[in-house]
Amino acid sequence: MNAKFFDLKKEKQDRMINAALKIFALHGYRHASTDDIVREAAISKGLLFHYFGSKVGIYTFVYDYSVRYMTLELKSTVNGEETDLFELVKQSECARMHAMRGYPYMQQFLNRSMSEDVSEALLAIEEKRDILLEAYEGIRRQMDFSTLPAGIDGEKLYKMLDLTIKGLMTEHFLNASFQPEMLYQEIVDYIDMIKQIVYQS
């Protein structure tokens, strides 16, 4: 991590991080512009390059920061003893909500990075990508699909929940008044509805 950057006031750190997360989340690495980042952060371009050196430098930093932040949230929010698929998905989304309170575009940025196709960006985050994937895979391994009703494919159900959540997240981000708590509540409502349907089948 960038030690010099963390000497800045927390408000300025977060302003720069949030600006980069937003621009990379909305446009992807290829089309993201450092001009847009500095405009969003209300800082000079010289300051951005002083701390990060280049576009790939800021991308690498915010990816590393996001992975560390999200991994900590998952570890502190998800119960390591829980085995119910629906409860684990709720807890994972609660962790994401906590992260998005301070960094609204963090999850969208992480989602976008999973489909990144620019080699420069891919190489920069290669090592850290495995850390977050392993955190999610660890939660996935806790899920006991054997408790689901006969005929219900646990893997497909999990994928359906994941796609539903991503769709809701995208829909909420199109709304300028995005609030993590409102997104989380809607996600929980959908999870509960799907759970009810599954156990009535």
Mean pLDDT of 56-81: 96
Percent of the chain past pLDDT 70, that is, above it, reads: 99
Q: What predicted TM-score, i.e. pTM, was given to this entire model? A: 0.89
What is the rounded distance in angstroms from the CA atom of residue 163 to the CA atom of residue 165? Answer: 5
Predicted pLDDT of residue 1: 60
Mean pLDDT of 136-152: 94
For the chain, how are helix, strand and coil distributed in percent, rounded to 5? 80, 0, 20
Mean pLDDT of 85-100: 96
Contact (Cβ atoms closer than 8 angstroms) between residue 156 and residue 145 = no
Assign 128 a pLDDT band (cuts: 50, 70, 90): confident
Straight-line distance from the first to the last Cα atom of the chain, in angstroms, rounded to the nearest whole number:
50
Predicted pLDDT of residue 15: 95
Assign 190 a pLDDT band (cuts: 50, 70, 90): very high
**Average pLDDT of the chain to the nearest whole number:** 93
Contact (Cβ atoms closer than 8 angstroms) between residue 151 and residue 201 = yes
Assign 176 a pLDDT band (cuts: 50, 70, 90): low
Contact (Cβ atoms closer than 8 angstroms) between residue 137 and residue 162 = no
Long-range contacts: 89-93, Cβ < 8 Å, 24+? Answer: 89/158, 89/161, 89/165, 89/191, 90/187, 90/188, 90/191, 92/136, 92/139, 93/165, 93/184, 93/187, 93/188, 93/191
- The tens digit of pLDDT for each residue in 32-62 reads 999 999 999 999 999 999 999 999 999 999 9
Assign 114 a pLDDT band (cuts: 50, 70, 90): confident
Per-domain residue ranges of the chain: 60-200
